[in-house]
Structure 1
Amino acid sequence: MIAKTIRTCFPIAAAAVSDKAKDINKLNVFPVPDGDTGTNMSLTLASVVRELTALGADADMEAIAAAITHGSLMGARGNSGVITSQILRGAAEGLVGASEPATSADVAAALRNAVKVAFKAVRKPVEGTILTVLRDISTRADACAKARESVEDTLDAIVVEAYESVARTPDLLPVLKENGVVDSGAFGFAIFLENFVAAALGRSTVKVEDFQASFDVDSAREGALAQVKIEANDDWEGSEYRYCNEFLFKADAPFDEDECLKFLASMGDCELLVGAYPDYKIHVHSNTPNLVLEHMLQLGQVYEVFIHNMDMESAERTANIHADQDAAPAAPPKPLGFVAVAAGSGEAEILKSLGVDEIVSGGQTMNPSTADLLEAVSRVNAEAVIILPNNGNIRMAAE
């Protein structure tokens, strides 16, 4: 039952994060404003979805946990993606051996294990990030389990706590308050959690902007969104390190992971080394990614190397935010619009004067295609559009 629920709900929650990736990107100012958190989280989740899809129909929770662990590790992108992978790993492993059906105690145990695994992966945890939200929902789940609340009430409670925790992130991390945003990774995590829970409890997936959700997260979500005021970082002083480099690593033999982490720390910051012998994911911000790779090549093989210029990504994020701010607000759609086919400029002018929004050139001997008509419909800012084919040869394409 638990395994089936995860296989059903995970793709829905992953899709919700993917849909909001661009908005999550614009929030990203920590540890650098590179605008990639939403993208990295969605890519990480998509890798898990592929692994889950490849499993047999009778896969048990142990197989599900292995797929989540491997998929998230192999697909983890960026600091946010790697940390997300460890949260998923900890929660999935914590559900192996859970009772059927699951209880609030099982949910609490899974989240406690997620906290343990995720915090272990980060050498210098920072308050006001996704890790804070994870710890807060774990604490809330523990309280629910102690009170012997139902699984449904427990899941609802942790979604509410997630958004309330997200809303508190600017009070814990000054750079967030300075830029008028909540933590991007924390916000993405809350979106994933809300949509997973909605699917697990048989409710329709809700959008983040929808304050008429079918369960009681309205005030919590609204509180988080009240903190979302995306601003450009024109006065950002820049990070000490330019490149975000990450790669998969297969060790030739067991090695000292603590010493490896110390080396990565000497190369830059945001260092992460997660996984288990022989497969690891490595992430670090550095000015010398070549030295990082050269060192690791002495210990094994590196592959799927990604090196991102965070200065360029930051500039792109700022430019995109300026473009959004400068864009004129879109007019609300009118109830009804019209697309008409006209054979000449005179007829087109008459139809325009009568209120037709878009004209498609065509007639008895020049029949527009369905694609031509559909493109015209897409340009009309209306809730519904009537197509006037004006010729029997065009009616079927219009229909």
Structure 2
Amino acid sequence: MPSIIDAALLGRWTAASTAALERRCAEIDDINVFPVADGDTGTNMLLTMRAAGDELRRRFREDGWPPTPDGPGCAEAAAALARGALVGARGNSGVILSQVLRGMAEAIADAAGAVDAGALRAGLERAHRLARAAVARPREGTVLSVLQAAAEAARDCGGDSEREVAAAATAAAVAALRMTTGQLPELAAAGVVDAGGYGLVVVLDALATALGRPTDEAPDVPRSRVRAARGAEALTTSRESGADAFAYEVMFLLDGTDDERVAALRADLTAVGDSVAVVGDGTTGGTGLWNVHVHCNDIGAAVEAGIEAGRPHRVTVMRFEDQVPAADGGRFTRERAVLMVVEGDEVAELARESGADVVERTGTPPGADELVAALAGTRARHVVLLPDDPEVTAHAERAASAARRDGQEVVVIPTSSVLQGLSALAVHDPARRPGDDVVAMAEAAAGTRTGGLLVAESEALTWVGQCAPGDVLGISDGEVVLIAPDLSVGALWLAHRMLTAGGELVTALLGADADADLGERLAEDLRRTHPEVDVLVYRGGQADYPLVLGVE
């Protein structure tokens, strides 16, 4: 009998998990009191699962979704989920969730095509081992206890089908979750179950459902015994446990290292803080990627420990005291955010490095519902939304209206391209009054003229003449303004045309398939012909335009 665990099933599980976490996000955040009552466990797990799903869709972008028999298979899909979760993990709970997906991915790879109930059992067992090994000082009554119960139930399940194993694991996880209240003093005092364990139950329940377990057989997930108003009582409980000894959460990605130096890093971080979690992608030989998490007071010491171990990047720091008080039930944990819609891995990374939260699209524009969820996921009271595409603007406006009805202040700046979005982001200043900041960002976007190059696929009549297949078309303001013989000539001609009206900065984004030489030649030509203009070239990664230009 063929396995029902395949790439398409993993896609359905990811989508179901994300949707379920979106529904339960506020509730999970509400009962988050350990190790710090910062009210973000649900949000962190949701954002981590979204990152996993984004990577899965990128992996299958060229082959189409749903997968085809000739396209990447189950092992490739599972590896993409694990990789996306590792890179996009948020908070301690997100780091643990990434190891759940890594355990499943490694077991599926080892199954060599026979992805059955045995592989599911092995995946949960490996997930438990990886997650527990990731935490420097594991404690019972946390998500680790819930994951252990799920793995043991899967191992001992007498059923032969994947559905039976997943159902047994979920039921055991629910039972273990109920027990967490009595296992940790912090949870008992607040009268709640463990928030990370609750999030894991949501993910396991989505897997059981995706494998065909009837919804009427789903176990009742326990809520908090005493509804935890995320605020004074819960916060005091956590503070009394000593969690306030550390004021900051520090996270970064690490590469250029090895197991020995990672072990030393884990020891160094344990000496300067707590909630230490260091997890990798399983690659050996010094080429792997690691995600590092610690609560500490000395940010510099944590980052320096990373530098000693390898090459840290994507460093993020969150101060617990900066989180917004719980008058809104803990829903908002920061005052300001910029949410940007982009296409392409590299430009998404560029936007994140510039301080934006990102919605990554993979061809199809995100709908209003997806944007509403992303706005909520920022956990910010004031959000500037940059759609970066006229097709997305209408969805963005509907999402903003829905978010405003729910108490979040959202302003849409109708950017028509990613370069306008990056220009707006470049002048964003969280220290300014929100209204003044929006005006500055809107002016920067409006002052950026954009254009791009396309390769003609067929004969057509344009405003500037007849084009043939293979001709390079220069596009500006939605119209063809030039026809060039190749990309290099087209890039220079388009830049010269756009600079006719003046400009101080030219920004070029190279497409996914464009050669690096294209950007280098353009920069060299412009420095010679327009020495007064600064030129910046980035790898944008967009699939449609080989080159996008912006002039400010």
Q: Provide the residue aligned with 2:41 in structure 1.
A: 37
Query: 1:18: how far off?
Result: 2.3
Cα pair 1:2 1:101 within 8 Å, conserved: no
Structure 2 vs 1, CA of residues 114 and 322 (structure 1 numbering), >3 Å: closer, same or farther? closer
Letter in 2 for 1:123: A
Letter in 2 for 1:157: A
Q: Provide the residue aligned with 2:217 in structure 1.
A: 215
Structure 2 vs 1, CA of residues 105 and 300 (structure 1 numbering), >3 Å: closer, same or farther? closer
Of 298, 315, 325 in structure 2, the residue corresponding to residue 288 of structure 1 is 298
Aligned length: 312
Structure 2 vs 1, CA of residues 50 and 179 (structure 1 numbering), >3 Å: closer, same or farther? same
Runs of 4+ that moved beyond 6 A? none
Structure 2 vs 1, CA of residues 280 and 180 (structure 1 numbering), >3 Å: closer, same or farther? same
Between the aligned partners of 1:36 and 1:226, the Cα distance in structure 2 is 16
Letter in 2 for 1:23: E
Between the aligned partners of 2:327 and 2:265, the Cα distance in structure 1 is 37
Q: Provide the residue aligned with 1:343 in structure 2.
A: none
Alignment of 1:1-399 (within 5 A): 1-4=4-7, 5-56=9-60, 57=67, 58-98=71-111, 102-144=115-157, 147-201=158-212, 213-217=215-219, 220-221=220-221, 224-225=222-223, 227=225, 229-234=227-232, 236=236, 237=239, 239-251=244-256, 256-275=261-280, 276=283, 277-278=286-287, 279-313=289-323, 316=325, 318-321=326-329
Cα pair 1:267 1:292 within 8 Å, conserved: yes
Letter in 2 for 1:281: N
Query: 1:17: how far off?
Result: 0.7
Query: 1:250: how far off?
Result: 2.1
**Aligned partner of residue 131 in structure 1, secondary structure:** helix
**Aligned partner of residue 193 in structure 1, secondary structure:** helix
**Aligned partner of residue 312 in structure 2, secondary structure:** strand
Cα pair 1:180 1:231 within 8 Å, conserved: no
Letter in 2 for 1:284: V
Cα pair 2:265 2:309 within 8 Å, conserved: no
Query: 1:91: how far off?
Result: 1.8
Between the aligned partners of 2:255 and 2:6, the Cα distance in structure 1 is 29
Q: Provide the residue aligned with 1:354 in structure 2.
A: none
Q: Provide the residue aligned with 1:355 in structure 2.
A: none
CA-to-aligned-CA distance 1:158-194 (integer Å, 9 cap, x gap): 2222212111111111110100111001001111111
Between the aligned partners of 1:251 and 1:101, the Cα distance in structure 2 is 34
Name structure 2 gaps, 5 residues minimum.
61-66, 333-396, 406-552
Letter in 2 for 1:16: A
Letter in 2 for 1:321: G
**Normalising by structure 2, what TM-score?**
0.53
Q: Could you tell me the percent identity over the aligned residues?
A: 29
Between the aligned partners of 2:120 and 2:128, the Cα distance in structure 1 is 13
Between the aligned partners of 1:157 and 1:25, the Cα distance in structure 2 is 26
Between the aligned partners of 1:322 and 1:307, the Cα distance in structure 2 is 19
Between the aligned partners of 2:258 and 2:182, the Cα distance in structure 1 is 44
**Aligned partner of residue 204 in structure 2, secondary structure:** helix
Letter in 2 for 1:248: L
Between the aligned partners of 1:169 and 1:202, the Cα distance in structure 2 is 26
Structure 2 vs 1, CA of residues 16 and 323 (structure 1 numbering), >3 Å: closer, same or farther? closer
Higher fraction of helix:
1
Q: Provide the residue aligned with 1:392 in structure 2.
A: none
Structure 2 vs 1, CA of residues 263 and 16 (structure 1 numbering), >3 Å: closer, same or farther? same
CA-to-aligned-CA distance 1:269-308 (integer Å, 9 cap, x gap): 1112211544211111011112221332344332222111
Between the aligned partners of 1:164 and 1:215, the Cα distance in structure 2 is 15
Letter in 1 for 2:128: V
Q: Cα RMSD over matched residues?
A: 2.7
Higher relative contact order (CA 8 A, sep 6+): 1
